[in-house]
Structure 1
Amino acid sequence: MKQEVDQFIKRHQLFEPFTTLLVGVSGGPDSIALLNYLYDMKVDWGFHLVALSVDHQLRGEESQADLQYVKQYCEERSITFVGVSLDVPNYKSKHKLGTQEAARAMRYQFFEEQMKENQADYLVLGHHGDDQVETMFMRMTRGANPASLTGIPISRTFATGKLVRPFLSVTKEQIESYCSANDLVPRRDPSNHEDHYTRNYFRMHILPLLKDQNPNLHQSVQKLSENMTDDSNFLDEQARKVSDEIIQYEDDPKQVTCSIIQVKKQPYALQRRMFHLILNYLYDTLPSGLFYGHETQFFDLLHSERANVSVNLPNKLSMIKSYQNLHFQFYQKKEVDFFKTLTIPGKVMLPTGAEVHASIISSDQKTKDKEKHKDYYFFPLHNNLQESDLAIRYRLPGDRIYLQGLNGRKKVKDIFIDEKIPVYQRDDWPLVVEKTGEVLWVVGLAKGTPSGSYRLNGDRFVQMEYRRKT
């Protein structure tokens, strides 16, 4: 086994000499064999080893004994040991997770903290070739996502360094033989023999059937994983380049907008990866509720003939098709009661960060360019215009506006439709209204006519300006 692992490490250049390695050690055969293997390498490579052991508080005294076993092994060999007891049951209940998912989340959080505290170069874990086979077949069973064929990565960025798995080249049987040959007596977790866990079911019932057909299945699957990873990494890089050109990312709040036409011009493989790049940008941690069906919904929206349609994703993220754009945003409670008096002169700050300014100007300051611009609105100053006569609010059901040259009034809703304003933007679009409630200006879109009876005040005008958030 040692020769196979040595060659695997050399081929993939997993380690640099004279570095700090943190080793995840449960006390089971895989992890104690890994720690023992690295201990034997320690002198030649100049490694500083730190063993990390976790009691997940799931098996009472047994899991505490596991931690003590690892501690004793380390003390006998002068290996730095860090053990911790984590309240997984409470975390599971608080975050509404499965047992294994909660245990993994807390364990990796502990690993990350230790990587930073020790300024470590590597976190080394004992996943082996049979784990790789189980993982890939489990993922393919749950959903036919190409990412399932990349399997468990040999190496990836983690905290201050890299997470590496040198045992992916060998089988569980080889590890057990290594333990026997080196007089290691690992701890045994009885739950590993309970087949109501999906992974255990695959390990106990599916893997033996596959290995009957090919005893070296782990080598074939590992090679497939490496090839698929290489291909996937290349396509991911291409998708990132395209995404930087055609996708608009916003930080505050986090949201993403992309042109459906531009996305559909890309090869299908890049479209799929762009979807996952968007999710990785928006979610701090990908939720467990995401599944292959959401990717299908993404493609359905791209090809939908409906002008406005949306799909809900986990954790209150919405995927919204509006005309020729696709928008991703988290649900935010609308400030439906927004209402601010617009004094003249004065300004109103909108919840979006934009502003509406009002001022009094002379006729020679009212240029034709500004008159035509949708972000400006002018009307003659009136002697009886009161300070509280104008206000800014959001739309209300039935809102209408008097438009110049139009016989009668037009629904504000129809203006939004004509201007192809996305549905998700309409409820908090600013409207300047008169004290009667009549809409004077659909800001930046349509200019109405004052409805009140006012006495004109010479050649002075009220200028309103919409200053968009930059």
Structure 2
Amino acid sequence: MLIAEVDQYIKKHNLIESGSKVMVGVSGGPDSMALLQYLLEKRAAYQLDLVAVIIEHGLRGEESEQDIEYVQHFCQKNKIKFEAQHINVIKYKEEHRLGTQEAARILRYQAFDQLMKKHQADDLALAHHADDQVETVYMRLTRGTQLDALQGIKNTRPFSTGKIIRPFLSITKSMIEEFCREKGIVPRRDLSNEKDVYTRNYFRINVLPQLKKKNPNLPETIMHMSENIADDIQYLFDQTKRVSQEVLNISENPKMVTCQINKLKKHPLALQRRLFHLILDYLYDHLPDGLNYRHEQQFFNLVNSRRASASMDLPLQLKMIKSYQSLIFRFEQEKQREYHFPLAIPGRTILPNHDVLEAEIVDRIESLPTDNRTFYLPVNIDQYPSLAIRTRQPGDRIYLAHINGRKKVKAVFIDKKIPLEKRDQWPLLVREEGEVLWVVGLVKSNLTKQAKEDHYIKLTYQSRHKF
């Protein structure tokens, strides 16, 4: 019964190709030994090159060594290549402040990755089954999760030199135990699995039996639900990738994503939500545990806020910054320092962002500048004023003729829709006493020529940046 069911599942999902090198994760327990036995029986039909791998976690002492001997003996008897690798879970969990199960999982997959590369394996076969799937789905439900997680354990995913496959996801634990009895397999038993101190064990021992009383076909029900969700999610993912090309601007150095809010809001809420998670998947190497539904809500709060500028913090110093109709995701950088240095007259002054302010002395204005990148300052040829370039300070104002008065530099930035993160580094041209003459590239103070002033300092701003 097990063989026919697994044969059908492998064929339906195209899990194994003929001639593949398959590495099998084995512990000595009933699940993995049944999987190894199944693949052994299919070795000729699929022309498989099998490698059995056992990862010893350093947690059970002599019992673990006996597990290794047991699996090694089985492999020698059946002419299966065998590898054993030791990992130090206790040391790793203390160094990284992790739980035992999480530390074991990370190190186990690191070892699998190394061995896959060593053997240039096509597949890593793991023995997760239908009851594991039920446990996983209900565990995630109790934590609160995204729809994607209700796919449960995937039957295949890319990994290392090939992919992970799980041929047993359609069969139950009872079928595996029966298969072991039929084949004369007397597996090793890990007594820690009988204790409910770990979350998965708790669900397996206390929750699943009660659920199966209500629905004896629960594993099959969850399997079909997970597969349906996976199909729906794949469609939504394809749509999200299509929309992302219209809505998102992605940069590599520094790693940053800009989302156009007006374009985003034209799409259904489901796609907006998925775009948020697509952005996180791109920016984070590994999604941090601290991410939860509150951060998703913060995303929507910024998208729908009427404020022109606002920001929210995400884990690991990732920031969401709303700047008018853009939503910027970037990691917080070390705060740039304020600057204040004299202007070279004549000469070139290089700003911290590598823009250039060039000053030269001229005796007339050739033509009135049509933009804000050129500024003429009337001066007396016998005495140049002391000028400086600096960042803004609280209370900075600039005199503007068209309003016949002084305007806050902060208000200039708002009017010109300069993003929040750029304002503190924006260059201002000031006199020695602090009077702002030019918010460089944006607005100029109105200066009337006095009788003694017979020359001009011509200032030209050369920038690679758009504003």
TM-score, normalisation: structure 2: 0.90
In structure 1, how many angstroms separate the alpha carbons of the residues matched to 2:329 and 2:241? 17
| Residue 356 to residue 177, structure 1, CA distance change in 2 (3 Å) | same
In structure 2, how many angstroms separate the alpha carbons of the residues matched to 1:40 and 1:454? 103
Name which of structure 1's ranges 326-335 and 412-421 shifts more when overlaid on structure 2.
412-421
Deviation of 1:383 (Å): 3.1
Map of 2:350 onto structure 1: 348
Residue 442 of structure 2 aligns to which amino acid in structure 1? Answer: L
Residue 409 of structure 1 aligns to which amino acid in structure 2? Answer: R
Residue 377 of structure 2 aligns to which amino acid in structure 1? Answer: F
Map of 2:71 onto structure 1: 70
Residue 309 of structure 1 aligns to which amino acid in structure 2? Answer: A
Deviation of 1:347 (Å): 4.0
- Is the CA contact 1:250–1:256 (under 8 Å) kept in the aligned structure 2? yes
In structure 2, how many angstroms separate the alpha carbons of the residues matched to 1:27 and 1:452? 92
Residue 371 of structure 2 aligns to which amino acid in structure 1? Answer: H
Map of 2:420 onto structure 1: 423
| Residue 184 to residue 431, structure 1, CA distance change in 2 (3 Å) | farther
Deviation of 1:69 (Å): 3.1
| Residue 416 to residue 88, structure 1, CA distance change in 2 (3 Å) | farther
In structure 2, how many angstroms separate the alpha carbons of the residues matched to 1:11 and 1:378? 76
Cα displacement string for residues 251-275 of structure 1 (whole angstroms, at most 9, x for unaligned residues):
1111111122211111111111101
The alignment covers a number of residue pairs equal to 465
| Residue 376 to residue 69, structure 1, CA distance change in 2 (3 Å) | farther
Map of 1:17 onto structure 2: 18
Deviation of 1:166 (Å): 0.6
Name which of structure 1's ranges 7-16 and 395-404 shifts more when overlaid on structure 2.
395-404
Deviation of 1:53 (Å): 2.0
Deviation of 1:80 (Å): 2.3
Note the 1:52-91 alignment, pairs <5 A.
52-91=53-92
Deviation of 1:401 (Å): 2.6
SS at match of 2:168: helix
- Is the CA contact 1:342–1:358 (under 8 Å) kept in the aligned structure 2? no
Note the 1:199-348 alignment, pairs <5 A.
199-343=200-344, 344-348=346-350
In structure 1, how many angstroms separate the alpha carbons of the residues matched to 2:20 and 2:54? 20
Residue 350 of structure 1 aligns to which amino acid in structure 2? Answer: P
Deviation of 1:361 (Å): 7.5
SS at match of 1:52: strand
Map of 1:372 onto structure 2: 370
- Is the CA contact 1:261–1:324 (under 8 Å) kept in the aligned structure 2? yes
CA RMSD of aligned residues (A): 2.8
- Is the CA contact 2:240–2:275 (under 8 Å) kept in the aligned structure 1? yes
SS at match of 2:42: helix
Note the 1:109-128 alignment, pairs <5 A.
109-128=110-129
Which ranges in structure 2 are unaligned for 5 or more consecutive residues? none
Map of 1:383 onto structure 2: 381
Which ranges in structure 1 are unaligned for 5 or more consecutive residues? none
SS at match of 1:467: coil
In structure 2, how many angstroms separate the alpha carbons of the residues matched to 1:215 and 1:453? 96
The percentage of counterpart residues that share the same residue type is: 48
Deviation of 1:317 (Å): 1.1
Map of 1:447 onto structure 2: 444
In structure 2, how many angstroms separate the alpha carbons of the residues matched to 1:40 and 1:20? 15
Cα displacement string for residues 329-383 of structure 1 (whole angstroms, at most 9, x for unaligned residues):
11112122344554342241534xx512314376899665xx2324444435653
SS at match of 2:169: helix
Cα displacement string for residues 189-209 of structure 1 (whole angstroms, at most 9, x for unaligned residues):
222222232211111111112
Residue 5 of structure 1 aligns to which amino acid in structure 2? Answer: V
In structure 2, how many angstroms separate the alpha carbons of the residues matched to 1:374 and 1:424? 21
Is 1:358–2:355 an aligned residue pair? no
In structure 2, how many angstroms separate the alpha carbons of the residues matched to 1:288 and 1:336? 32
- Is the CA contact 1:377–1:465 (under 8 Å) kept in the aligned structure 2? no
- Is the CA contact 1:334–1:427 (under 8 Å) kept in the aligned structure 2? no
